Amino acid sequence: MKSNQLKEIALHQFALHGYQGASLATIANEVGIKKQSIYAHFKSKEDLFISTYNDSLENELYFVKQFIEKNHSLSLKEILYSFLNEYLGRYQKDPHMSFFMRTSFFPPLQLKEQITNGTNTFVNELESLFLVMFEDKKDVLNPNVAPDSAMMSFLTIFDGLLVELLYGFPDRLQKRLSSSWDIYWQGITK
């Protein structure tokens, strides 16, 4: 039970302050234990961080899978546009998402390889999930656009919007979403 409590508090601390700024003493205090007691559950701050990151990775993959499953009966256009809006909207609301994104874009140097591997797992899974959807709904695609190309283009727009989410402003994010979406959709469909 304490391990899960520690990870939940650590998630919020790491999401707000990053790896360097988060304090094990603060995490322990919020859980109601002494700092040394953390080591009964995790070998180090790095171990707690990676465990929290892996939980967030699983949470994000679960969200995407559930979203696709729940919306599969909608048109391709509705699914894709709704996904962009819903996923981007989660940044302020879901600490797993904000922690995962911040960590993926700004990994602690000593954990960069592990974080990069996790991020690549996320990207590979996104590609697989969306490719199946594009293949299932390829009847709306322009005959010159292969499902894998449409999927890669969509995820490239998604990546660009994530960068805007992290570095930009909400109004500019919405403007970029609307503009890129219209051009993208016109380009891939009949």
pLDDT, residue 1, reads 55
pLDDT, residue 126, reads 98
Q: Are 14 and 49 in contact (CB under 8 A)?
A: yes
Low-confidence stretches of the chain (pLDDT < 70) are: 1
Among 67, 103, 84, CA closest to 162: 84
pLDDT in tens, 28-41: 999 999 999 999 99
Q: Where are the domains of the chain?
A: 52-188
For the chain, the average pLDDT equals 96
pLDDT, residue 2, reads 84
Domain 52-188 class in CATH: mainly alpha
Q: How far apart are CA 98 and CA 13, in angstroms?
A: 11
pLDDT, residue 11, reads 96
pLDDT, residue 6, reads 95
pTM of the full predicted structure? 0.93
